[in-house]
Amino acid sequence: MASKLLNHCHLRALCSTHVFSPRFPHPTRATLTLLHFRPFSDAPSSPPPEKPQSYNNTRNDIGMEKGPTQTPSSLKELELVKFASIAETWWDSEGPFKPLHVMNPTRLAFIRSTLCRHFRKDPNSSRPFEGLKIVDVGCGGGILSEPLARMGAAVTGVDAVEKNIKIARLHADLDPVTSTIEYCCTTAERLVEEERKFDAVISLEVIEHVADPAEFCKSLAALTIPDGATVISTINRSMRAYATAIIGAEYILHWLPKGTHQWSSFLTPEELVLILERANITVKELAGFVYNPFTRRWSLSDDISVNFISFGTKNAQ
């Protein structure tokens, strides 16, 4: 696998000679193999743990139930506990994550169009991301990772909540196309320590839950190859966002559990552009998401006053 990846790097003439290998032993490999049983998979002879990752290397030091993490992280403990409690409902399209399911096609449409343009991929292809390595930071149950894999990308999904990763793994294994996703319970910081690099780094609806957005952006930038892409979406710190995303979505419509968002941790687009700039990422495109209550659909718009998404590229050093 490592050689395949190297090969791929050569093909793209982009980088870099580092090779990843599993650095940690796998005490639960047996269970994993069971869960990975896939009659239709591409490589029945080679067991999945060949993947250049260690599924459980962080389970004991980052696992939520174990209390405070010992590794430096930009994450907030409270936020993690909050998400662990509703993790099982990730794939219930009528459950607590319904707003994300409804919003998903719209944010994917933005990612598809910006990445196709940037990486010069054929927008008429059903798998335009073939050949791209993408990391989904804060992947949750995998509702973004799976579509990215169906679009052809080699996807790594990371989340600090172990329960999320378990759900994501189980769900992805249902479909041979998505079972190729590499899920790790880890953080962006730890991936940086492992010197992982990706063509595109995507982190949606995550930055408003981290303790130090500037540090977080630096980590995302460190994971991106030069001239690679970074996509971030979040909620604006505007009065309208307070009214709609907190009062509306949490208290009136009950779309989201109360306390999902803290208005004071929201970032304005200006702040986001600035901290990305400091992390060596130039924001090229910004778009807003607007919700139409009559059609009950989200669409892309230039109104960035509530939900917005940014596409940036990493400056070549």
Partner 1 sequence: MNRVIARKLAANVSRLKVRQEYFCTDAAARVSGFYRGQSSQEHKEKNDFANNIQQYDIAIVGGGMVGMALACSLASMPLTKHLNVAIIDGNPALGSRVSLNKGDPPDARVSTVTPATISLFKDVGAWQYIEQNRHAYFDKMQVWDYTGLGYTRYNARDINKEVLGCVVENKVLHDSLLSCIETSDFQKTFHPSRLTSMTLHPSSSSMGMDSTLLKTPSSSLGHLAKLELSDGKSIFAKLVVGADGGKSRVRELAGFKTTGWNYSQDAVICTVEHSVENQCAWQRFLPAGPIALLPMGNNFSNIVWTMNPKEAMNRKLMNEDDFVKDTNAALDYGYGPHPKSSLLEMGDMFSWLRGDVTLSATEGFEVPPKVVKLASERMVFPLSLKHANDYASKHVVLIGDAAHTVHPLAGQGVNMGFGDALALSRVIAEGIAVGIDIGEVTMLKKYEEERKRENIMMMAILDGFQKAYSVDFGPLNLLRAAVLHGANYISPLKRNIISYASGDQRLPLFS
Residues tagged in the binding site annotation for Mg(2+): 205, 208-209
- Looking at 146-154, 202-210, 247-255, 264-272, which segment touches partner 1 (CB under 8 A)? 146-154
Which of 80, 134, 135, 151 contacts partner 1 by CB under 8 A? 151
Task: Report the Cα–Cα distance between both ends of the chain, in Å, rounded.
Answer: 28
Binding of partner 1 at residue 251 (CB under 8 A)? no
Closest CA to 240 of 259, 266, 214: 266
Residues 10-29 that bind partner 1 (CB under 8 A): 11
Binding of partner 1 at residue 204 (CB under 8 A)? no
Per the structure block, which two tokens stand in for 280? 């060596």
How far apart (Å, rounded) are the C-alpha atoms in residues 42 and 36? Answer: 12
Contact string 29-68 vs partner 1 (x = CB under 8 A)? -----xx-xxxxxxx-------------------------
Residues 84-123 that bind partner 1 (CB under 8 A): 88-89, 91-95, 101-102, 104-105, 108-109, 112
Per the structure block, which two tokens stand in for 46? 């080679």
Binding of partner 1 at residue 2 (CB under 8 A)? no
Which residue, 53 or 236, is less far from partner 1 as judged by CB?
53
User: Annotated binding site for S-adenosyl-L-methionine, which residues?
Assistant: 107, 138, 159, 204
- Looking at 76-84, 140-148, 187-195, 274-282, which segment touches partner 1 (CB under 8 A)? 140-148
Count of chain residues binding partner 1 (CB under 8 A): 50
Least distance between partner 1 and beta carbon 213 (Å): 27
Which residue, 77 or 173, is less far from partner 1 as judged by CB?
173
User: Three-state SS string across the chain, please?
Assistant: CHHHHHHHHHHHCCCCCCCCCCCCCCCCHHHHHHHCCCCCCCCCCCCHHHCCCCCCCCHHHHCHHHCCCCCCCCECHHHHHHHHCCHHHCCCCCCCCHHHHHHHHHHHHHHHHHHHHHCCCCCCCCCCCCCCEEEEECCCCCCCHHHHHHCCCEEEEEECCHHHHHHHHHHHCCCCCHHHCEEEECCHHHHHHCCCCEEEEEEECCHHHECCHHHHHHHHHHHEEEEEEEEEEEECCCHHHHHHHHHHHHHHCCCCCCCCCCHHHCCCHHHHHHHHHHCCEEEEEEEEEEEECCCCEEEEECCCCCEEEEEEEECCC
Per the structure block, which two tokens stand in for 37? 């049983």
Which of 80, 139, 149, 185 contacts partner 1 by CB under 8 A? 149
Least distance between partner 1 and beta carbon 45 (Å): 11
From the centroid of its chain, how far is CA 110?
15
Which of 51, 59, 121, 171 contacts partner 1 by CB under 8 A? 171
Least distance between partner 1 and beta carbon 304 (Å): 21
- Looking at 15-23, 53-61, 67-75, 171-179, which segment touches partner 1 (CB under 8 A)? 171-179
Least distance between partner 1 and beta carbon 108 (Å): 4
For the chain, the maximum distance between any two Cα atoms, rounded to a whole number of angstroms, is 56
Contact string 272-301 vs partner 1 (x = CB under 8 A)? -----------------------x-x----
Would you tell me which residues interact with partner 1 (CB under 8 A)?
Answer: 4-5, 7-8, 11, 34-35, 37-43, 88-89, 91-95, 101-102, 104-105, 108-109, 112, 124-126, 130-131, 146-151, 166-167, 170-171, 173-176, 179, 295, 297
